[in-house]
Amino acid sequence: MEERMDTKNIGLRGVKVADTRISDVDGERGVLIYRGFNVVELARSSTFEEVSFLLLHDRLPKRDELKRFRSELASERSIPDSLFEFMKILPISAPPMDVLQASISILASYDPQLNDERKEANLKKALRLISKLATIIAAWDRIRKGLPLVSPNFDISHAGNFLYMLKGTLPDPGVARDFDICLILHAEHSFNASTFAGREVASTHAHLYASVAAAIGALSGELHGGANSEVMKMLLEIEEAGRVKPWVVERLQRGGKVMGMGHAVYRTEDPRATILREICGRMAARTGDQQWCKLTQAIEAATKEEFKKIKGKEIYANVDLYSASVYHMMGIPIDLFTPVFAISRISGWTAHIIEEKFAEAQPKSELYRPDADYIGNYCGLQACEFIPIEKRSE
């Protein structure tokens, strides 16, 4: 048999599969760009609504456009009563990400433009999804806790409205603004696992909702969106700053990972971690509880020190390390950390899915179809002989 050259790239690291105008990650310099704008500047000067418009439309909105976009987002916050009824029959132990993924498939049936594949129709569908994801997640948390549902507040920001629907009281303006910044930081990150999943499904000409459901499934894994909840579990396990050093040393010396440290792309500090560290400090000051912020800082310092000893190189905090303690201090349940990630990333997902559907630089009919090397059973040059079951030996 002719020997084949092995061309596999496990994890597709470094493989370019498409052109994109949406975002760029410079891992060497620690720079993240949304449509040409540095995420640090956007986080300090913009809002989630404005960033969502930017991601979808490839430009910043004018004043009247942003006002209209905010109004349209607010008007789409309600979800069908039947979706509430569906959630009410689920076991309260159902994982929130599974509930969210199933809800997206149900929600698709209520979109009047579901099968309208014009770009403008897809932009409208994207707007509806950005708005409704927050309502779904807040509703599920209250349903599983036996609490009355909180109707959306149409007069406050997207970030503030989610915290309001989750808790039933208007959030502190400072907390709402910091949560808004968190949503900006998580909104987009180029061809990550969930974005690639969404684009791959879109390449088959599936509708927007199907593509988003696939992205949600990919985000649910602990190596992707689930990492921030794993960070919080780590913080709860360690609990005291005095236990950090031995815990980190033991974990790294036996080849384990410290969640929230290191990144597949960044070779310096994740720029999002820098801002989240600042938010962590502000939240600690607001709540008067310094425990979680100090514990996170201690884990970061101990991991950097021990990793340098073992590996001889630097390791840096990623977006998940400080987002965990920030969300915890905001009163968000740990198993909602990943759904909150989805509330934000839906802007990036829908922008990518629409770009995939209407890409000008590559054929629209070119669906993703990678290859693989078969290493299973093989009987020479022919397929294995099928033996009827009555003739097989026990």
Q: What is the pLDDT along the chain (394 residues), one digit of tens a residue?
A: 344 445 667 778 778 888 999 999 999 999 999 999 999 999 999 999 999 999 999 999 999 999 999 999 999 999 999 999 999 999 999 999 999 999 999 999 999 999 999 999 999 999 999 999 999 999 999 999 999 999 999 999 999 999 999 999 999 999 999 999 999 999 999 999 999 999 999 999 999 999 999 999 999 998 888 889 999 999 999 999 999 999 999 999 999 999 999 998 999 999 999 999 999 999 999 999 999 999 999 999 999 999 999 999 999 999 999 999 999 999 999 999 999 999 999 999 999 999 999 986 555 557 888 888 878 877 766 678 888 999 887 6
The pLDDT assigned to 118 comes to 97
Q: Is 371 a catalytic residue?
A: no
Residue among 263, 270, 328, 352 flagged as catalytic: 263
Residue among 111, 180, 270, 320 flagged as catalytic: 320
Cα–Cα distance for residue pair 331/55, rounded to 1 Å: 29
The pLDDT assigned to 1 comes to 36
The pLDDT assigned to 2 comes to 42
Cα→Cα distances 61→10, 50, 56, 250, Å: 40, 7, 11, 51
Cα→Cα distances 74→151, 349, 350, Å: 12, 20, 18
Residue among 26, 57, 205, 224 flagged as catalytic: 224
The pLDDT assigned to 245 comes to 96
Structural element, H or E, at residue 140: helix 119-144
Q: Is 58 a catalytic residue?
A: no
Task: Copy the structure tokens of residue 224.
Answer: 């992707």
Task: Judge whether 37 and 61 are in contact, CB under 8 Å.
Answer: no
Strands 31-34 and 23-26: antiparallel
CATH code of the domain occupying 18-226+336-357: 1.10.580.10
Amino acid at 348: G
The pLDDT assigned to 5 comes to 47
Q: Is 263 a catalytic residue?
A: yes
CATH 1.10.580.10 region(s) of the chain?
18-226+336-357
Specify the CATH class of 227-328 in words. Answer: mainly alpha
The pLDDT assigned to 108 comes to 98
Write the CB contacts of 222 (distance below 8 Å, at least 6 apart in sequence): 229, 230
Phi-psi region of 105 (alpha: psi -120 to 50; beta: other; left: phi over 0): alpha
Structural element, H or E, at residue 37: strand 37-38
The pLDDT assigned to 3 comes to 45
CATH 1.10.230.10 region(s) of the chain?
227-328
